[in-house]
Structure 1
């Protein structure tokens, strides 16, 4: 009868205790893999040209802009050897005129204090044609 009681009531399954060290190791290795995957995708995007190119502000600088239509504007862009007057639309950029390079004192930053964040945000949010 002793044999029958063992067959009717099988032994409870053994549960293994999971050590904290192994869980931390698994989680950190998965996180490290994800970070490496993100870095690999960023490198690949840069190599294939999906990332925007950085343009130095000394090479090209937009000094003036005026809105002439709903989606059209005229801008003045300073380069090293000329100032370009360009017409910009949603589809095209048209060269309108070439001006001589600006005098060095014109390119020097003015002594005015920089705008605070609130003023910069208001300038960005402000729509053309509407006055506060």
Structure 2
């Protein structure tokens, strides 16, 4: 009876340990040297449409991406396209909603 209880506890302890190990191994990626291709920027245009800038070697490709196809919109040498940087902090959802609610209910405090 004691032997079976010890085996049961051992199996119960091995389940979370093996799950942790699998999760840990999935995050490790082998080093493959320098990246040849990387996504530089993305601009969503709709639920499944976006414009994406991809750096391939020393070229920057501007691609139109939809659910059905990918279209080359422009091609330029690296450094010739100025990609916009985020300008200032983004507002959180609550402050945006308060400002919108203030327009519809002018008597309420914000």
Q: Please tell me the TM-score bracket, short chain as reference.
A: 0.3 to 0.5
Q: Which has the higher strand share?
A: 2
Q: Relative CO higher for 1 or 2, CA cutoff 8 Å, sep ≥ 6?
A: 2
The structure with the larger Rg is: 1
TM-score calculated relative to the size of structure 2: 0.45
